[in-house]
Each structure stands twice: as structure tokens, then as C-alpha cells.
Structure 1
Amino acid sequence: MITIDNLNLYHQKTASNNTAKRKGATQVIFDLSLTINKGEKVAIIGPSGAGKSSLLHHLYQRLQTSAALCSQRQGLVDNLSIFHNIFMGALARHHWLFNLINLMRPFKQDLRNIGLLCQQLELDEPLAKSVDKLSGGQRQRVALARALYQQQDIFLGDEPFSALDPLMASRLLEIILARHKSVIMVVHDRALAMSAFDRVIALDKGRLVLDSKKQSINQQQISKLYQTDAVA
């Protein structure tokens, strides 16, 4: 599905990550190489500041036409409704005129489809409610619903459950895994990463320090990875 060879990423406001290192740039990924195959369910873990989000967004840039992204930034439009924010995930599937009419006066079928999706995600709020009136966990589920509504083969998630309790996170992850052939997700909950995914990738200080099937992972490796984060 995707191969990365000796990837180096830099954060700089005025420079592209594709440029060579420039004065003032901060390197966030160092000489990273990996291959992710179609059909894999991959968790990306690591302490704070390890470069997990940077790697995920680079993958999205490479896979954009076939992947749906659920980002930490969410990108919701606060003064629009739950329906409008979720339907925006389907804009690329329709003609602009269809989208315009549907956003102005939603069609019954789309209202039904989005309503059913919200029920699956346990988002029990009127579809006409504006997202600025929702809690943090509800907003996360709207962002997740929009990503699911894109109906892509690949799902990329950047800690999409950070505002949710572990039980809810587990239920939502089951839905994501069932609806997508391939899943690559930054996961904060190590237990969830180890139990639900086929493969675990770990980053530390921008470097790949672990890439293994979950059955082969030593728990001591994982604990050691997070020791510096706990001290900080």
C-alpha cells in the first residue's frame, strides 16, 4: 500500500517538509523506513513529542485520494449543524450542485444515512444542532462520523478517542475496523493498541524504535518506551 524509505521531516513555518534542512527548522522524523501493506491494522504509539502525528499526516499526504483522515484538529465548522459537518465528508462523491442543494435543504436519504451513522457512534443529538453546542467527546464523534462518511478503504486516525472513556473508545474502534480494509491510527491507550491491532509501530524522539506484530511484542519494551514520558 505504501513504502517510506529514509524519511526525514522538519517543522518550519516558512519551509516545506520536502525541503532540505534549513536554519531554524526542527527535525521531527529521522531516517524512517517502513512498508505498510493493504489490509493491515496498524497502531502507532510512543511518548509525547515522538513524531506520531507528523508521521500520520505524511502518510495522509501520500494516500489522500484513497484515505479518510480523522485528525486531532477535527476541522469542524462551529456554526454549522451536525448534519452539515458530517455530510462534508461526502462532497467529493457528488456534483457541486447536488452538494449545494443538499446543504441548503437536506435530502431525506442523506438525513437517514447520517442519522443511522450517528446512532452507531452513540451520538444521540438532533442532526440540526450546531457543533459549537456539543461536548468535547461529542465533537470527536462528529469528526469521526465525517471521516467514516467518506467511505474510503483506508482510515487514518490521530488519537480520535482522546476525549472518550476506554469502553466507548473500544466500541468505536470496532466500527472503524469493520468498515475499512486498512487502518493506521495513532493510539494513546497502549492496552487498546495491543489488543485491537495486528501490528504496532512505536516512535521515540522521531525515530522508529519498534515495528512488530503484536504477538511478538515484549511488554517490557513498551514500558521502557514510556518511562521518559512519565518522568517528564
Structure 2
Amino acid sequence: MSALALTGARADYGGQPVLGPLDLDINAGERVALVGRSGAGKSTLLALLHDRTRRDIALMPQDLGLVETLSVFHNVFMGQLSHHSAAYNLANLIRPFRREVKGVTAVLERLDMTETLWARTGELSGGQRQRVAVARTLFQGGHVLLADEPVSALDGPRAERVMEALTEQYETAVIAMHDLQLARRYADRLVGIRHGLIAMDVAADAVETEALDALY
């Protein structure tokens, strides 16, 4: 059963084609890593998938989308703003509810970030801010994950921790990645993008190193 699908999808920028036309079918329960050099079209492809199927999708953009003047708690809680009324969200902004603090803390604990709960997000390191965005994505919930370079600012152990948390929570996922070792370890399928087209679509455990090298 398809969870996400594109048929004849294309994208233009300033009248110039940047992606497609291409077809892509993601089955429920499948974890797909999008690989390829910067500018190949991975972020555009994620945007098309999100625009076509917004419902029940957790999105982590590459630009993170954090409000740096607010605390880590408030940035993570934003993942569930659509779950509550405007009055509830406003009250929680002024004086966070205990149950929401407990829920956000549990997510931060999965990423070794509980000590930053009340820190101003703009005062954190780049890697910490990236983990805040990951925490917001985990807190958001849903059944499908679309993530754009979720571990680009993280070192080995922290990158592993993030990939474990994301793939444990989301059975269906499409993740753009530069780290090919992580991609092969945490994805079922690798989709290689080159010049805006799908140049490779293979099982992660069957891909040859030479085929990956040809994408870069």
C-alpha cells in the first residue's frame, strides 16, 4: 500500500526545470534515504511530497524553522500547535502546563537534551539546535516522516542517536542524507538524485559502492 506517491512530478525555478519529470512510490512501512550531491533536487523532492500529502506527515526542513528567542520547550511544543486551540497554545506560551512540560522532557531525554529545556534556543550550538528541531519533529507525531538532512551538524554518536529515534518512531520515512553509511544502515531503500532526476533506486543492502560514488 502506497503511503506517498508522485507521478510525472516536476518543479521549475525562474522558468528553469530543477526537478523531474519523475515518478516515485513509497510504500507504508518503508524507509527511504534520498542521496546525491547538494543541489541535485533532494530538498525539492521532499517539498513536493509534503505538498501533495500534508496530512499525517511530520516535516523536518533543512532550515530547521526554530524561533531562536524562545526556549527549547516552546520550540518543541510547536510541533503540536495544530493539536490544540489558540487559547490553549497562548496559555501554554505564558505558563507551560505540567503535562506538556512532561511530554517535551520525555522527547528531549531520547536525544540527551533535557538540560536545555528552558535555555533560549538561539544560545545553543548548531548541533544542539538541530536536535531541538528533531525533538519538535518527534513531538509532532504522525505516521510518515519527511526529513531534510536531520544529522548534518552532528557527530557520530549523536547522529546515531537521532537516526535511531527517528526510525523507531516513524515506520514510513523519506530522509535526505549526505552520510552514506548512515543511509545504508537506517534505510531500506536508497533513491539517488542527479540533475533533478532519479538516477538510482535500489535496496539499501544491495547497492554497490560504485553506484553511489557515481552520484557525487
TM-score when normalising by structure 1: 0.89
Between the two proteins, the alignment pairs up a number of residues equal to 214
Write the distance in 2 (CA, Å) between the matches of 1:35 and 1:149: 26
Q: Look up the match of 2:108.
A: 118
Which amino acid is the alignment partner of residue 99 of structure 1?
A: N
Query: Cα distance, 1:130 vs. partner?
Result: 1.0
Q: Look up the match of 2:51.
A: 61
Q: Look up the match of 2:131.
A: 141
| Structure 1 position 6 matched with structure 2 position 14 | no
Write the distance in 2 (CA, Å) between the matches of 1:112 and 1:164: 26
Write the distance in 2 (CA, Å) between the matches of 1:93 and 1:42: 27
Which residue of the other structure, out of 155, 168, 172, is the alignment partner of 2:145?
155
TM-score when normalising by structure 2: 0.95
What are the ranges of 5 or more consecutive residues in structure 2 without an aligned counterpart?
none
Which amino acid is the alignment partner of residue 161 of structure 2?
A: R
Q: Look up the match of 1:229.
A: none
Write the distance in 2 (CA, Å) between the matches of 1:225 and 1:126: 38
Identity %: 38
Please give the per-residue CA displacement for 1:118-147, whole angstroms capped at 9, x wherever unaligned: 111111434221111010001001111111
Q: Secondary structure at the match of 1:74?
A: coil
Which entry has the higher C-alpha Rg, 1 or 2? 1
Write the distance in 2 (CA, Å) between the matches of 1:121 and 1:82: 13
Give the superposed CA RMSD.
1.2
Write the distance in 2 (CA, Å) between the matches of 1:115 and 1:121: 10
Q: Secondary structure at the match of 2:193?
A: strand
Write the distance in 1 (CA, Å) between the matches of 2:101 and 2:157: 28
Q: Secondary structure at the match of 2:55?
A: helix
What are the ranges of 5 or more consecutive residues in structure 1 without an aligned counterpart?
13-24, 227-232
Retained in 1: the 8 A contact 2:134–2:162? Answer: no
Q: Look up the match of 2:80.
A: 90
| Structure 1 position 191 matched with structure 2 position 191 | no
Please give the per-residue CA displacement for 1:80-101, whole angstroms capped at 9, x wherever unaligned: 1111111111111112211111
Please give the per-residue CA displacement for 1:11-65, whole angstroms capped at 9, x wherever unaligned: 23xxxxxxxxxxxx23111211111111110000001211001001111112212
Q: Secondary structure at the match of 2:205?
A: helix
Retained in 1: the 8 A contact 2:43–2:176? Answer: yes
